[in-house]
Structure 1
Amino acid sequence: MTRVLVVDDQDLVRHGLRTILELGGVEVVGEAADGADAVAAAKRLQPDVVLMDLRMPGIDGVEATRRITETSGPPVVVLTTFDTDQHVVDAIRAGALGFLLKDVTSDALLDAVHRAATGQPVIAPAILARLMDHFSSRPPTAPAAPPGLTDLSDREREILALIGAGLSNAEIADDLVISMATVKTHVRHVFAKLGARDRVQAVVIARDVGLHRPPRS
């Protein structure tokens, strides 16, 4: 049974999430109302997944996510109303594995929890779209390039650019007229060289360094 820690500063939200999860066969091993309690509970309870609110008093969800993931803690899935785009971008950099809106359906929430428990990134389509808009309209200011960027081949840089444009592996294969297996190999090499855990982080890196070319028409 998947074990989950629920983190939110609102009692009603925590209660609602607990009800949905337990009815769906997920064990809620604990709750936390702020980031400091979340970090302590994640270490003490060792859940399979942490559902993390972003905006909380004291230590917020971004910093709590960083502290949990930097010590090889459980995967963190952020639940957000998406009030502030930058908070979501910051949470990606802090190590969050997934992002869901708080109006997510019960079935989608349960599916996301089970997927996250196996290490699969989960992200709501609306959040991905907003993330892309964020980088298009308000690009970050000259962050340091990741060390592995210079190790990428020309083809791998092209693959990274298309990931930054939001394309799936299948769409990249069609765009570059190469096989799906070849795309998967390139993507695996890109992730390894950049130290990116998943596609969401790769999108952030691509956008940070200005690699986000549109697909060929």
Structure 2
Amino acid sequence: MKAVLMLMFWALCLLQMAAKGGAEKGGEVTVDKMTVPVVSIQDPSLIDFFVSEFFIAETLVTRLEIIDATRNGFGEDDLVKTYPSEQIYFPVPSDSAQKIMNSWRFKANFQIVTENRAPEEFENLPQQKAENGILASILRGVNRNYQDQPINIWFQRDSSGVTFEMWGFKESALTYSPPPPPVPDSVVTYDLVHVIRSDTLLNTDSTLYDLIYVYKTVSDTLYFDDGVKVE
């Protein structure tokens, strides 16, 4: 059995037709997005099993998607989508079909649900440094350019490119703030010494020593064209 749980399935809460109809009647319609688990089935024997169980009258089904529309586990009242026809069906699983569907669980590779905290706190966590580092980078960008709440972000990267979406935020609170200049790997310190008085000391072993009396030291900060700061 080859059943692959897909991370996201974007479902429009209200169809475009419904939104248009509501606008014409003067009613307020909100179009939003939600994420639900989806099982993608490509194994021919398993496809044949569910096509028979759900009484799907199609002669060619190469892929089957079962969408957890209720978000309470796969089963009755969910949706089934067939390919290549892209038809939608409402399944009524038998006991044997429901037993298979009960074994499907989506588990994120990384998930964290916590209170609003500083990005540095996530970076300093001892476990999952890379994952928490990505989260910290996102938080820095959000905190720098958006000071309000709430905000929803969706990001996906695959072989075809990058998809990034933001919604549910107050546009008036969105203000660009440039990132701080990068910190160099090494900082060179220059000490400027003013010699006020010098003298010569002659020891019995004929070794000559120059004595320098330092009354004052001055430190300064140098700025280079590439943004490197040296103190």
Alignment TM-score, normalising by the size of structure 1: 0.22
Larger helix share, 1 or 2: 1
TM-score normalized with structure 2 length: 0.21
Question: Would you tell me which structure has more strand in proportion to its own residues?
Answer: 2
